[in-house]
């Protein structure tokens, strides 16, 4: 019986294990994970911390026991120590007993994930400096927020997690200063969308310190007392570091695995690495971007799930390929919904595309409808090939389903020239006769 070992059992690993256990009874599946839980939906962390949901129970969609019932051998609290790729052996350490043991594989799937970037700053070792990645981090943050002595929190980093946790911390009555060296949500939206989110945060009482670089975390009696930037100093009682993630692949840096500059393991569309019978999935690996027509690093749970499925099938001998991704994502903060797919105008220009864009702001439904909201849509395309490269939308209404159409358009290399006459239904309850998508296509054609 062929043996497949999966290292890491969060989103990517969980789906690789399920794919193998559900479909290939002639394959022995063994998984090791250094944590004591799996499948924590970090995207729901802010909802739990902000008391939108009552508990974390619903943020887990799989359990080690459930995977074991499917026939997989699951070892939690086991940390990978080394891999002998030539002889197909691994060493793992039982974090409870301290025992180090050897295991052999026929196929190896690496799902070691990512880890927060923790800057080397004075004061990082102070009490109440926290970060948010796994369930235990979220639980730690919840416990600290319950302390009435923590009145003001500095959130460092204005990506999705940072901005979402700003709202969650405000729900606990904390004062917030959001610090970032650039604007908000830089990697996902162009400036006009960033500015809308920035105003949204200000309108809801968030202090912004944008364009500032943190230089030191100040302390008193071993606890956080303030934070210093290259421009200002702020009195705070807690600091959340959320400046991004890096692939958790340090142990492989001297191996024969081909790796990108940021440490991501380079894979093909079957999730195969440069070493035979070794696969990499999820946040530790590259992924093919259909917008850029190139490998990229896009750490999203949705991508992790798909790579786990693909690697599971390929490890068992069924050849299927990833279709590439668009990096589709969304955020909902203080009633403002924003979503994007593909690449922004700024990223497209940096990638060397001859960029065309069109932006439409309109009501979602006809003006006579009593229940109505504005929506803004921006479409980015390549003037040379005419293919759509990206789309961004925002509204106080849920318009996110429309983003799926643009994601598929990018995947299938749909032309901007076709957008104006794409068959879209009309009903006053939902949209206009010429809705915002149609109007964007007409404007792009100069019609």
| Residue 78 among the catalytic residues | no
Whether 376 and 440 have beta carbons less than 8 Å apart is answered as no
| Residue 11 among the catalytic residues | yes
**Active-site position among 11, 78, 246, 313:** 11
Taking the C-alpha atoms of residue 185 and residue 163, their distance in angstroms, rounded to an integer, is 8
Tokens of residue 57, six digits: 């129970």
In sequence order, what are the residues at sequence separation of 6 or more whose Cβ sits closer than 8 angstroms to the Cβ of residue 34?
77, 78, 79, 80, 95
Taking the C-alpha atoms of residue 37 and residue 52, their distance in angstroms, rounded to an integer, is 22
Q: How many CB atoms lie within 10 A of CB 442?
A: 16
Q: Which of 84, 65, 86 is nearest to 76 (CA)?
A: 65
- 138-143 — which CB contacts under 8 Å span 24+ positions? 138/42, 138/45, 138/48, 138/49, 138/56, 139/56, 141/49, 141/165, 141/240, 142/48, 142/49
Q: How many CB atoms lie within 10 A of CB 395?
A: 22
Taking the C-alpha atoms of residue 293 and residue 343, their distance in angstroms, rounded to an integer, is 11
Whether 297 and 264 have beta carbons less than 8 Å apart is answered as yes
DSSP E strands in 223-323: the ranges are 223-229, 233-234, 238-241, 245-247, 278-280, 287-289, 294-296
As annotated, the active-site residues are: 11, 43
């Amino acid at each position: 019986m062929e043996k497949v070992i999966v290292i890491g059992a969060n989103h990517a690993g969980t789906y690789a294990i399920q794919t193998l256990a559900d479909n290939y009874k002639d394959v022995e599946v063994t998984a090791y994970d250094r944590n004591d839980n799996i499948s924590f939906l970090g995207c729901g962390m802010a909802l739990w911390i902000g008391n939108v949901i009552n508990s974390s129970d619903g943020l887990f969609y799989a359990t080690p026991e459930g995977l074991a019932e499917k026939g997989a051998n699951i070892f939690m609290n086991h940390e990978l120590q080394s891999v002998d790729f030539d002889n197909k052996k691994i060493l793992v350490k039982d974090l409870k007993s301290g025992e180090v043991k050897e295991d052999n594989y026929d196929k190896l799937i690496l799902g070691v994930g990512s880890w927060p970037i923790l800057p080397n700053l004075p004061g990082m070792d102070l009490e109440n400096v926290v970060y948010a990645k796994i369930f235990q981090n979220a639980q730690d943050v919840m416990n600290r927020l319950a302390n009435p002595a923590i009145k003001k929190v500095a959130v460092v980093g204005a990506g999705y997690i940072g901005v979402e946790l700003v709202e969650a911390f405000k729900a606990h009555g904390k004062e917030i200063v959001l610090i970032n060296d650039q604007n908000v949500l830089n990697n996902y939206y162009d400036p006009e969308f960033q500015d809308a989110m920035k105003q949204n945060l200000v309108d809801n009482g968030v202090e912004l310190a944008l364009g500032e670089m943190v230089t030191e975390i100040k302390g008193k009696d071993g606890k956080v007392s303030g934070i210093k930037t290259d421009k200002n100093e702020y009195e705070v009682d807690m600091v959340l570091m959320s400046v991004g993630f890096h692939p958790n692949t340090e142990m492989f840096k001297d191996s024969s695995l081909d790796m990108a500059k940021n440490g991501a393991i380079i894979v093909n569309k079957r999730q195969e690495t440069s070493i035979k019978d070794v696969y990499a999935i999820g946040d530790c690996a590259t992924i093919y971007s259909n917008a850029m027509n190139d490998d990229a690093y896009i750490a999203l749970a949705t991508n992790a799930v798909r790579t786990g499925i693909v690697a599971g099938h390929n490890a068992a001998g069924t050849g299927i390929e990833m279709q590439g991704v668009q990096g589709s994502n969304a955020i909902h903060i203080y009633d403002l919904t924003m979503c994007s797919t593909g690449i922004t105008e700024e990223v497209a220009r940096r990638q060397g595309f001859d960029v065309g864009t069109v932006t439409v702001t309109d009501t979602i439904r006809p003006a006579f409808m009593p229940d109505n909201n504005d929506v803004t849509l921006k479409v980015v395309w390549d003037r040379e090939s005419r293919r759509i490269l990206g789309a961004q939308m925002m509204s106080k209404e849920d318009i996110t389903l429309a983003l799926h159409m643009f994601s598929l358009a990018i995947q299938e290399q749909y032309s901007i020239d076709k957008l104006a006459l794409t068959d879209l239904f009309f009903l006053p309850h939902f949209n206009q006769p010429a809705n915002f998508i149609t109007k964007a296509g007409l404007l792009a054609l100069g019609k």
